[in-house]
Amino acid sequence: MKFSARTVRTSRYPVLIGEGALEHLQKELKGFWKMKSQILILTDANTRRFCLPELLNRLPLLEEATVLSVDAGEEKKSLLIAEYLWKELGSHHADRASLLINLGGGMVTDLGGFVASAYHRGISTIHLPTTLIGQIDAAIGGKTGVNINSLKNQVGTFYSPHGVYVWPGFLITLPMAQVRSGLAEVAKAALIQDEQFWRWLTRKPLLQILEIPFTEPFWKEVLLRSIRIKMDIVKQDPFERNRRKLLNFGHTIGHAIESFSLRRETLVLHGDAVAAGMLCEGFLSLHKTALDPLQLEEMIRWILPGFGKFPLLEENGAAYLDLMQHDKKNRQQEIRFTLLSGIGKGKINQACTPGQIHEALSAYDTL
């Protein structure tokens, strides 16, 4: 995938995307070195192994940086780990002028962004996303957070990074299951806002897309189009008062599935949970926002063969409903969803009753 860096600017910070992104980062870092700021890099065990050597190889300036590492996995996005990192920053004498670079997927950028936002009331932070979800979604938009009691993102901040550098080369070592998980967020971006992107994406079955090497121009298109959608929405509504809620399509039920799995042995990947959430919320959309059943069928045909199915009601429907009650979009005890009135047309603030949700989970179960 050859494309030199393109800059997309939010009102507050640049997002650089492409082969040249790391060169731009190098220039930016020189400013921090000049100011004698301390630079720290946060990784998880996998990004330390797969991405850090590549980063140091390309940006030898960073060899002097202090590396902080945590184990990989969603359960590490916790207050306990955040506290551990604050203590680590303290023991390395990080001060207000320090810079924390988050090298990793959404877990690392959410956690590192949160840690940076609160340490000494906020230090500079840069996101270097290394997963598909991180590159098209999690690292962009300034949301940080940790899970509490296995409930997703219960504590967090809106905190703008100094910059986001999307270097597609990191994706090469990403396991296929993680690529698939990222494709759920790609599909979501298309479904809420860009029908033409959905048509383009779904010309190929999902399983076939998973075989396309990251060096192919296909992925450049996926990255640019998905990032544009996210940036466009976030620019209009940075603090999620209205339009940004569009990005939650599939996530009310998806987060309940993910949270439920955090309490069990077998962890469900974020994107896999969102894929199931999008189908369930597709069923809700039939009744609440008049989604055409043929369009829902189209979604099912593309999503289901790639992601498979979780037995939802069969497992524990009541627990999912209970988890949805904690969703941050809810108001006055109503469970609120972002639904679709058509492909490419998200609709926010759709209140659904427990009965309607139960029906949607049951329709999904019978697929």
The site for ligand NAD (CB under 6 A) is made up of 44, 46-47, 50-51, 72, 74, 77, 104-108, 110, 130-131, 133-134, 137-138, 141, 143, 152-153, 170, 173-174, 178, 181, 270
CB of 117 to ligand NAD, least distance (A): 12
Cα–Cα nearest to 25, from 59, 1, 51: 59
Cα–Cα nearest to 192, from 321, 335, 348, 313: 348
CB of 30 to ligand NAD, least distance (A): 25
Select 50 or 86, whichever has its Cβ closest to ligand NAD.
50
CB of 56 to ligand NAD, least distance (A): 15
Cα–Cα nearest to 249, from 289, 279, 228: 279
Q: Output the CA torsion sign for 251, 257, 259, 262.
A: negative
CB of 143 to ligand NAD, least distance (A): 4
Contact predicate 303/275, CB 8 Å: yes
SS3 313: helix
> What is the rounded CA–CA span in Å between residue 66 and residue 72?
19
245: number of Cβ within 10 Å: 23
CB of 363 to ligand NAD, least distance (A): 26
Select 181 or 252, whichever has its Cβ closest to ligand NAD.
181
Select 136 or 352, whichever has its Cβ closest to ligand NAD.
136
Contact predicate 195/343, CB 8 Å: yes
Select 32 or 167, whichever has its Cβ closest to ligand NAD.
167
Select 143 or 288, whichever has its Cβ closest to ligand NAD.
143
Position closest to ligand NAD via CB: 106
